[in-house]
Amino acid sequence: MRGEEHGKPDRAVVRDALGVGVAVGLSGFAFGVTSAGSGLTLLQTCALSLLVFTGASQFALVGALAAGGNPLTAAAGAFFLGVRNAFYGLRLSQLLALPRAVRPFAAQWVIDETTAVALAQPTRRSVRLGFTVTGLSLYVLWNLTTLLGAAGAQAIGDTDAWGLDAAGPAVFLALLAPMLKTTTERAVAGLAVLLGLGLLPVLPAGVPVLVAALSAPAVLYLTGRRRADAAHDTSAGAPDGTAPDTPAGPPAGARNDGPDVSGEGR
């Protein structure tokens, strides 16, 4: 069944959306375990998944708390990670074109995964279908596995003894790695790792994450400067000061009376 002419079959959209929702939703178990290991209660852990619902920010928050960080610092780091969703919303609001009454509810599902699935669709119908199926499946499964993970962690006691304290960082890296497709993105990630690990012994828990966020503007600034310098060097390398690919103009004596309107030479 096709939603629109030249569109993607609804069945294919639902299949792709469910694949993303199920694959990512299962990692809520790791968050539940990590959150319980950081000292949060079962109710607090489930409230985070129900109300915040953005995995990277949730992992950042409980990770900073587990390391003994100040709650305000941990919340600030989680907030800055979640700001990206506001920019996703600007784009998705144009693609989805939802009624005003629905937008506040749809905003809860504006995350990396729903944005990726929605942007991959060719028509508005498939955009809405992909966004809805991804958001619904991921929200339900993420919260269910969060509950199971937190309850299981409380049942087994010390999560560190089982090595489950590494589950959160491992899942976070697994989600991040496929997104690093360009050299600039890899440079930002590499610099962030260096800043975070280098400052971890000297700054309070949670603060290295905030400082590591400066790696993005730093790399973008250096990349822009390098491109500007390369463009300047290319321009300066031409004998007459113009770019090598720029025509120097017609030869001496040649006439240029404008476009040919006589019909000849066509």
Per-residue pLDDT of 147-193, as tens digits, reads 999 998 877 766 555 555 565 566 566 656 766 788 888 888 888 88
Residue type, 126: S
Average pLDDT over residues 207-234: 82
User: Which residue pairs, CB below 8 angstroms and at least 24 apart, start in 236-240?
Assistant: none
Give the closest residue to 210 by CA, choosing from 64, 111, 68, 34.
Answer: 64
Prediction pTM value: 0.65
**If pLDDT is split at 50, 70 and 90, which confidence band does 89 have?**
very high
User: CA–CA separation, 166 vs 159, rounded Å?
Assistant: 10
Checking if the pLDDT of 266 tops 50, the result is no
Is there a contact between 92 and 110 (Cβ–Cβ < 8 Å)? yes
* E-assigned strand segments in 82-199: none
Is there a contact between 208 and 196 (Cβ–Cβ < 8 Å)? yes
At 62 the three-state DSSP class reads helix
Is there a contact between 24 and 179 (Cβ–Cβ < 8 Å)? no
Checking if the pLDDT of 265 tops 50, the result is no
The pLDDT, as a whole number, for residue 262 is 43
Backbone angle region of 68, left / alpha / beta, with phi > 0 → left and psi within -120 to 50 → alpha: left
For residue 202, the surrounding DSSP H or E stretch is none
The pLDDT, as a whole number, for residue 136 is 96
Average pLDDT over residues 78-86: 85
Burial of 180 (0-12, 13-18, 19+ CB in 10 A): middle
Average pLDDT over residues 6-16: 85
Is there a contact between 32 and 145 (Cβ–Cβ < 8 Å)? yes
Checking if the pLDDT of 19 tops 80, the result is yes
In this structure, the chain runs to a length of 266
> Taking CA 254 as the corner, what is the angle to CA 250 and CA 257, rounded to the nearest 5 degrees?
95
Tokens of 6: 């030249």
CB atoms within 10 A of CB 74: 24
Percent pLDDT > 70 in the chain is 76
Is there a contact between 76 and 206 (Cβ–Cβ < 8 Å)? yes
